[in-house]
Chains A and B, each alone.
Chain A
Amino acid sequence: MSKTIPPTCPEPATGRTYWRSLDQLSDTPEFREWLHREFPSGASEMTDPVTRRHFVKIMSASFALAGIGLGTTGCRKPVEKLEPFARQPEGYVHGVPQYFATAMPTRTGALPLVAKSHDGRPVKVEGNMLYPDGNGGTDRFAQASILDLYDPDRARRFTHHGNNVAREAVNDFLAGLAKSAAAARGAGLALLLEPGTSPSRARLRKLAAGLLPQARWFTHDPVDAGAHMAAATQMFGRSVRPVFRFDRAEVIVSLDADFLGTEEEVHHHIRRFAAKRRLEKPEDGMSRLYVIESLMTLTGANADHRLRIPSSVVGKAAAALAAAAGVNNVSAEGIPGDAAKWLAECANDLKAHAGRCLVVAGAGQSLAVHALAYAINSALGNVGTTLELLPAEVESDSLAELVADLKAGTVKTLVLLGGNPAYTAPADLDFAKVVAAARKNGTTVVRLGYYERDETTALCDWQLPAAHYLESWGDARTSDGTVVPVQPLIAPLFGGLTELEVIARLIGVQAAGAYEIVRETFASLVDGDVEGKWRKFLHDGFLAGSGHQPVAASLITSAVAKAVAAMKGEVAGNGKLEVVFRRDPKLDDGRFNNNGWMLELPDPITKITWDNAILVSRRTAAELGVANNDVVKVTVGGYSVEGPVWVQPGQADGTLGVTLGWGRSQTGRVGQGAGYNAYAIRTTAAPHLTVGATVTKTGRTHSLACTQEHWSMEGRPIIREANLEQYRQNPRFVDALKLHEPPQPKNAKEWPAPLYPNPFDEAKKSAFHQWGMSVDLNACVGCSACVLACQSENNIPIVGKDQVAKGREMHWLRLDRYYTTDKESFKPRDSGFYAAPVNRKQQFESWIDDVQVITQPMMCHHCEAAPCESVCPVNATAHDAEGLNVMAYNRCVGTRYCSNNCPYKVRRFNFFDYNKRPIDQLYKGPFGKRKDDEWDLIKMSKNPEVTVRMRGVMEKCTFCTQRIEAAKIAQKVKARASGDVVVPDGTFTTACAQACPAGAIVFGNLADPNSRVAKLKAQQRDYSVLEFLLTKPRLTYLARVRNPNPNMPDYYEAPMSLQEYEAKNHVQDALAPHGPADAKGAHH
């Protein structure tokens, strides 16, 4: 990826250096004057904001100022025909994408990004490789966020009481509001914000503190991502936020903390965690992860030891762990024998790694558990090593206080900036009713919202469309405090405003453009050459050296004691049910509710799409007399909600797992009707965990669309695993799991020449490039960011719930997730001769109670002897000389034979015109029509370098052939006469590899023995799936290694998948280092 430092702007003789807003651009006399000189003949057309010529001109100007976004009114829709630039900006080539550094703001930080722009439209976001505390990886949310930009259902207009109003009227209204607020010194003005880290917002707030001292600021975060910071601040007595350095920890204990899955900053956590799990040779060390949790999470899936207890018992477990780890004044009670032994041994392991271990409490856990975690870390000397404390900003007041103010009638004007509080507010606050009552008493509600069709809109007098972050000027601080720019890639498609602009107008700041605000903030942060540093800031995407330095702080034991004393005694179990609320791994708090990619992304663990479920354990389901898809009514604290049940292997008995963000009553076309609303039973007192729920059957069913119907790997060596000890004894253990191959001549290194030699075997010897990929199953945690990156890069359509239920989802890259169990529970019927159970019966089988989870990214293997190619009657899929299995969509007739013959089943077929038809009208055929407004935005969102497939053709992973070709062309151009056309390793990579925060996917040139991928494939853990078919895949895997503790009561000598293999194939000690060569044949 290349980024160009913006060239100096060729400045017109008079006029401004930059245009920063719509108003300035269209109306200033200087601009017009300049325009007349520049385009004398067409200048008059500028007054018509929608003509194509206008667009083109603005585009040319925009690119001349590459790196600096413009506000225009012209570029709403894609332009059908581009005219040449009147003045070609230097270095700009049509069709060649440009890259701009920006960032996606999150609750507790920001994700530094590089956005790819094609002729003015952003089409893909990637992590910023230059950013020092990162590897270019992102999370699911960042990858999916670009689709929201092109959401046809987003707010497109300014409204007052539901009627369209001009933007100017809104500006006037805000100006009036600012005037009256200033007069009242802010009294009666309340602002409700989402948590954020923007330095500009902080600066405006400081300004407001002077101008409008009586205005009140509130923050509402439904998932409470600030819990870690709040707890640390209390425990350490100063305003700090913890940073968990999993890359330094050799032993990690999670107290119900899903730090790899649904907590904040997962991309950092995954990267750091994976760094300590990656192995190159058997002698390498790796970390050990203990997880104590109720729901089966991604963190639990990656655990070496997992203690399955209800979330409400985690407090006691934490106390027992703390007591055993040497924390004073903590008593361990109420933990049964098995778990007590588990915790004691876990504590011993912690103590053995004092200073090199880390205990993390879940964001949803009580303050007591956080306190105990900090106490253990403090007792073992982890603070400052594996647990860093950074200075933090103080939070605003909470939503509950806002409701109190509203009830008291002290709020004259309520400004809602972002979020959807009417939906996300705890049920007991009754936010919608309170606001409605306040409005009756004269409160005016102004709202800046991304969606007009949602629950909060009905409460508002004024509705202002919000700009997407890719349309906004802004800034943010990442979790380590580094300042990053939020830079627009495109003018707001529907003229939306940013939060900064609204705040600035409210407090009456003169320069109310977001650009000026950010620039001014930046100027206050740096000294010296502001302009030069600004340019570098925008180019690099971060301000070097602006990060916070860790602070020293010592634990306040009295605060810990106080928090532990306040621990609640009520726990789940013995028929008592608890409800655990979690941020949804896909929809977050509901903000991605209209995002088709997110709705269709299989949940990383359950693999359910288009719905959330009430997750229960097998035993709890049996006690309640319910099964998968049964709709039940959950009642807790007087509130109730109905949702479908899903039996989740490995979940604690007595726990009901629910995720937030679904079941919206008012949402866009895509999200309508998906899931149930867990907010309905959530209260301020117990937002994350509540005990004492009752479940009643409704007698109805709701079928859930799950992408993986079968749970067990059936003892097949598809994902190969070993324990660290086994790996050290037999580094080539992957070979011991091979199925017999045709006999190889003795002492022969090479196979004898085949009867029909592969024509590409010769080409391979002299080719410059031979593409290949390696996936490290030890690093992959199953987060699914790669799936979305692939979807975004390759124009993969969504197909809708009905089609997913039919098995027709289109993801080129999927994550296979298997549950495995031990030898005793895995009962093979006689000698491998047995049929696996019917898929729907799995949920009743006892082996699913305690499972290990393994995940495997699965995409086209690019077999050298590809079974798909030989059966295609029309040559639509063929091999190229660089080892790619290529697909000619134009030639494909759609016999689907290739899919039948693909042993990995990675080819996807377009059963309908998924791109052309709306997902609810697929069966209408030619009568199913998309609305024009949808079309315009859908077209804009597509990557122009990848064909948009029509119905009836087969498609599959291409190893991002468009990126390969672009890199090759770039290298050829660079090489000129030198002939050095080999693309250097690391110049580019596939979308999935790029997005992977763990760095588990590595793509590159196998013809270069020094490439990273070639070296990975030379590792002893390298194996290919189903190698006995001799398909010779170019995608191979590095086997997974687990690191269990032999002293633990649940120690296993072999990973469960290996035990299954042994049980199924009647093998004793499959990985014994010697001998299996002879014995192997006998097993099968």
Chain B
Amino acid sequence: MATVTSSAAVPVVPKELLREPLVTNNRTPGWISDRVASLIEGRTPAWWWVAFIPSVLLAALLLGMLAYQISTGVGVWGNHHPTMWAWDIINFVWWIGIGHAGTLISAILFLLRQKWRTAVNRSAEAMTIFAVMCAGIYPAVHVGRVWFDWFLFPIPNSNAIWPQFRSPLMWDVFAVSTYFTVSLLFWYVGLIPDLAVMRDRAKTKIRQFLYGLFSLGWTGSNRHWSNYEKAYLILAGLSTPLVLSVHSIVSLDFAVSQLPGWHTTIFPPYFVAGAIFSGFGMVLTLLIPLRRWCHLEDIITMRHIDVMCKVTLATGSIVGYAYGMEFFIAWYSGSPYERFAFINRALGPYWWGYWIMIACNVVFPQLFWFKKIRHNLWIVFILSILVNIGMWFERFVIIVISLHREFLPSNWAYFKPSWVDIATYLGTFGLFFTLFLLFMRFLPMIAISEVKGVTPHADPHMPEGGAKGGHH
């Protein structure tokens, strides 16, 4: 591009104040299209198959486990009296939590004009959708009689019995299904311009037809863009409260009960923070290898990683504060049952679960205070996995440790998972990765049109890069 002569009126930004551009190495829009489309159009890389085949096998395992559980009974899991919920609900909440980052990135950061989101929002949203699908399996099949799940929906029926709207499980049904629907729509709307790009580049009939079908006749006209931007903004506005509501409502499953350790008003904000924490953990886990394998270092830059590490640090600290506050409230409540529940978390038979949670969620993320750590991809990758482990244990602590020892000591017992619990959980990973790998192979995993908008070239004032992409 031609260099614009700088006039005397334009102050020259000192080099040290210039922000790192969002797309590095001065890549052109054409390069971006080619790079992203090549992931779909090029030969299937070997690593893809290496990841895909085990994922499909695990997904098949999931199907087998679900068939076994549904045909035989919930007893194939380790759930028992008094731990009536265990891995089923732990994994539900865990996957739902992971599903938080995507919509947060695409909606809230969009509204807040955080331009760096463009590089990661597409894959984060895909992650959200697949995670919510994995999550949704659990509440649907964990019940004793799956074939009567429809009792939970307000369907007019001959019995004239309605669901019980006082139950938080009922609210869950609405919260999760709404979240999934809106997230899916949001993702799809964002995909339309890029699907059109793929359609235009397609060389085979099938691709032309399918991309053409789903790009809904996109021509890139000004009117299309104008409508698109409006729709996108509205959906972002709709999604934003959902990000906060869905996990708040999931937390009410616990907070509404009267069990010591569950009956806590701090749960909604604490769950949302935890969900964002785990969601960003998962985004980092996915993108750090992918940017390398797909050669996307110029689009998903170290700056992106750095920012996401900071979000993780912030939310991890909020979660840590919540853990401390729970103890304070338990002591302050004066209820010996409440106090016992929390002491039992830290020192009871499952003390190890509690301390894994503290270590992974509160202690290790503090390393993100250091820039060196944030820029060491290996450490970031390991820490992001630890965050995911820690958040799984957070749900384990809340659900299993609270249930296994509550009011009457005669009911106290020790929960152990069965092999079916473990296999089902592994199976959900299979489903998740199968879907994700298919997504990155057939859909543009970077929002091409949006990324182009944040390149230095798109900024007529700063074609060499500069403040563009910084905060406004």
Query: Which residues on A are within 8 Å of B, measured CB to CB?
Result: 708-710, 712-714, 716, 718, 739-740, 803, 806-809, 814, 816-818, 832-836, 838-839, 858, 867, 870-875, 891-897, 899-901, 903-905, 908-913, 922-926, 950-954, 1025-1026, 1028-1029, 1064-1065, 1081, 1084
- From A814, A909, A912, contact of B72 by CB (8 A): A912
Q: Which residues of B contact A901 (CB under 8 A)?
A: 257-259
A912 neighbours in B (Cβ, 8 Å) = 72-73, 75
Q: Which of B161, B163, B346, B348 contacts A836 (CB 8 A)?
A: B348
Given known A894-B74, A909-B81, contact A1084–B334 (CB-CB < 8 A): yes
Query: Is A922 a contact of B163 with CB atoms below 8 Å?
Result: no
Whether B169 lies near A716 (C-beta < 8 A) is no
> 23 A-B contacts, Cβ less than 8 Å apart?
A716-B408, A803-B75, A832-B339, A836-B348, A838-B348, A839-B414, A858-B408, A893-B144, A893-B149, A895-B142, A896-B85, A896-B143, A897-B253, A900-B85, A905-B407, A905-B411, A911-B80, A922-B73, A950-B145, A951-B144, A952-B74, A1025-B408, A1028-B335
Contact B403 A900 (CB under 8 A): yes
Given contacts A908-B81, A1064-B336, A1084-B334, contact A808 B75 (CB under 8 A): yes
Instruction: Say yes or no: A718-B408 contact (C-beta < 8 A), given A839-B414, A911-B75.
Output: yes
Q: List residues of chain B with CB within 8 A of the CB of A894.
A: 74, 143-145
CA distance A915 to B208 in the complex (A): 58
Assess whether A870 is in contact with B167, with CB atoms less than 8 Å apart: yes
Whole-angstrom CA separation of A1025 from B173 in the bound complex = 34
Instruction: Contact check, A896 vs B84: say whether CB atoms are below 8 A apart.
Output: yes
Q: Are B84 and A900 in contact (CB under 8 A)?
A: yes
Determine how close the nearest CB of chain B comes to the CB of A646; give it in whole angstroms: 18
Nearest CB of chain A from residue B92's CB, rounded to whole Å: 12
Which residue of chain A has its CB nearest to the CB of B399? Answer: A900
Q: 16 new A-B pairs (CB below 8 Å) besides A709-B413, A710-B405, A834-B343?
A: A716-B336, A740-B334, A809-B81, A839-B413, A870-B166, A871-B169, A871-B256, A875-B163, A892-B144, A897-B84, A900-B84, A903-B406, A909-B74, A925-B71, A951-B75, A1026-B407
Kindly state the separation between the CA atoms of A814 and B331 in the bound complex, as whole angstroms: 33
Tell whether, in the assembled complex, residue A716 and residue B257 are in contact, meaning their CB atoms are under 8 Å apart: no
B135-156: CB near A (< 8 Å → 1, else 0) gives: 0000000111100110110000
Smallest beta-carbon distance B156→chain A, Å: 15
Q: Is the CB of A818 within 8 A of B75?
A: no
Pick from B79, B142, B166, B409 the residue with the most CB of A within 10 Å: B409
Task: Looking at the assembled complex, report how far the CB atom of B175 sits from the nearest CB atom of chain A, in whole angstroms.
Answer: 13
CB distance from A842 to the nearest CB of B (A): 11
Give A888's nearest chain B residue, CB to CB: B161
Residues of B within 8 A of A1064 (CB): 336
Q: What mask results when residues 346 to 379 of chain B are scored 1 for a CB within 8 Å of chain A, else 0?
A: 1111010000000000000000000000000000
Q: How far is the CA of A833 from the CA of B340 in the complex (A)?
A: 7
Shortest CB distance B356–A (Å): 17
A808 to B76, CA, bound (A): 12
Q: How far is the CB of A87 from chain B (nearest CB, A)?
A: 42
- A1084 CA to B334 CA, complexed, in Å: 5
Beta-carbon contact of B170 and A807 below 8 Å: no
Residue B269 interfacial (CB < 8 Å): no
* Bound CA span A553–B151, Å: 74
Establish whether residues A832 and B340, one from each chain, have CB atoms under 8 Å apart when the complex forms.
yes
Minimal Cβ-Cβ distance residue in B for A904: B408
- Within the complex, what minimum Cβ distance (angstroms) separates B407 from chain A? 5
The answer to whether B163 and A874 touch across the interface, beta carbons within 8 angstroms, is yes
Among A713, A808, A905, residue most surrounded by chain B Cβ atoms (within 10 Å)? A905
* Residues in chain B near residue A870, CB distance under 8 A: 164, 166-167, 256
Asked if B25 CB lies within 8 Å of chain A CBs, one says: no
Q: For residue B163, which residues in chain A have a CB less than 8 angstroms away from its CB?
A: 873-875
Which of A832, A867, A892 makes the CB contact (< 8 A) with B257?
A867
B134 CB to closest chain A CB (Å) equals 19
Chain A residues contacting B49 (CB-CB under 8 Å) are none
5 nearest CB pairs, A to B:
A894-B144, A952-B144, A925-B72, A911-B75, A835-B347
CB neighbours (8 Å) of B406 from chain A are 903, 905
Q: How far is the CB of B148 from chain A (nearest CB, A)?
A: 5
- Distance (whole angstroms) from the CB of B82 to the closest CB of chain A: 5
Give the shortest distance, in Å, between A755 (CB) and chain B (any CB): 14
B80, B142, B257, B331: the one within 8 Å of A808 (CB): B80
Contact of B68 (CB < 8 Å), options: A904, A911, A925: A925
CB neighbours (8 Å) of A950 from chain B are 145
Interface residues of B in 183-231 (CB under 8 A from A): none
What CA separation (Å) do A710 and B410 show in the bound complex? 6
**A716-B409, A905-B411 known; A913 and B73 CB under 8 Å?**
yes
Which residues from 257 to 313 on chain B have a C-beta closer than 8 Å to any C-beta of chain A?
Answer: 257-259
Whether B168 is near chain A, meaning CB under 8 Å from some CB there, is yes
Kindly report which residue of chain A lies nearest to residue B411, judged by CB atoms.
A905
A388 → B minimal CB distance (Å): 39
B412 at the interface (CB under 8 A from A): yes
Query: What band does the interface of chain B fall in when counting residues whose beta carbon is under 8 Å from A?
Result: 35 or more
User: Which of A712, A900, A923 gathers most chain B CB within 10 Å?
Assistant: A900
User: Contact residues of B with A, CB < 8 Å?
Assistant: 68, 71-76, 78-85, 142-145, 148-149, 151-152, 161-164, 166-170, 173, 253, 256-259, 331, 334-337, 339-340, 343-344, 346-349, 351, 403, 405-414
B80 touches A892 (CB 8 A): no
In the bound assembly, the distance between CA atoms of A1032 and B154 in angstroms comes to 31
Residues of A within 8 A of B151 (CB): 873-874, 891, 893
CA distance A983 to B411 in the complex (A): 36
Pair A925/B413 contact, Cβ less than 8 Å: no
A313 to B259, CA, bound (A): 49
Cβ-defined contact, A899 with B84, below 8 A:
yes
Q: Tell whether, in the assembled complex, residue B143 and residue A952 are in contact, meaning their CB atoms are under 8 Å apart.
A: yes
Q: Closest residue of chain B to A1030, judged by CB?
A: B258
Q: Name the residue of chain A whose CB is nearest to the CB of B349.
A: A838
Q: Is the CB of B82 within 8 A of A708?
A: no
Which residues on B sit within 8 Å (CB–CB) of A817? Answer: 410
8 Å CB contact of A871 from B76, B79, B257, B408? B257
Known: A835-B343, A838-B349, A901-B257. A873 touches B152 (CB 8 A): yes
What is the CB-to-nearest-CB distance from B130 to chain A, in angstroms, rounded to a whole number? Answer: 25
Query: Closest residue of chain B to A874, judged by CB?
Result: B151
Cβ contacts under 8 Å, B73 to chain A:
910-913, 922, 925, 951-952
> CA A637 – CA B257 in complex, angstroms?
59
Residues of chain A lying within 8 A (CB to CB) of residue B72: 912, 922-926
When distances are taken between beta carbons in the complex, the residues of chain B under 8 Å from A903 are 258-259, 406-408
Q: How far is the CA of A894 from the CA of B405 in the complex (A)?
A: 22
Closest beta carbon of chain A to B347's beta carbon, Å? 4
Which A residues touch B173, using CB under 8 A?
A: 873
With a CB–CB cut-off of 8 A, which chain A residues contact B83? Answer: 807
- Interfacial chain B residues near A710, Cβ < 8 Å: 405, 409-410, 412
Q: Which residues of A contact B71 (CB under 8 A)?
A: 925-926
Determine whether the beta carbon of A875 is less than 8 Å from that of B143: no
Residues of A within 8 A of B337 (CB): 716
Contact of A714 among B85, B145, B349, B409 (CB under 8 A): B409
Residues of A within 8 A of B340 (CB): 714, 832, 835-836
A808 contacts across to B, CB distance below 8 A: 75, 80-81
Q: What is the CB-to-nearest-CB distance from A880 to chain B, in angstroms, rounded to a whole number?
A: 15
In the complex, A912→B72 CA distance in Å?
A: 7
- Point out the residues of chain A lying under 8 angstroms from B82, CB to CB: 807, 899-900, 905
Distance between A329 CB and nearest chain B CB, rounded to angstroms = 50
Of B170, B336, B349, B414, most A-chain CB atoms within 10 Å? B336
Give the shortest distance, in Å, between A717 (CB) and chain B (any CB). 10
- Residues from chain A with a CB closer than 8 A to the CB of B78 are 806
List A contacts of B407 (CB < 8 A): 716, 903-905, 1026
Distance A874 CA – B149 CA, assembled complex (angstroms): 10
Taking CB atoms, residues of chain A closer than 8 Å to B80 are 806-808, 911
B409 — which chain A residues lie within 8 A by C-beta? 710, 712-714, 716, 718, 818, 836
Which of A871, A908, A924, A954 is most buried by chain B, counting CB atoms within 10 A of its CB? A871
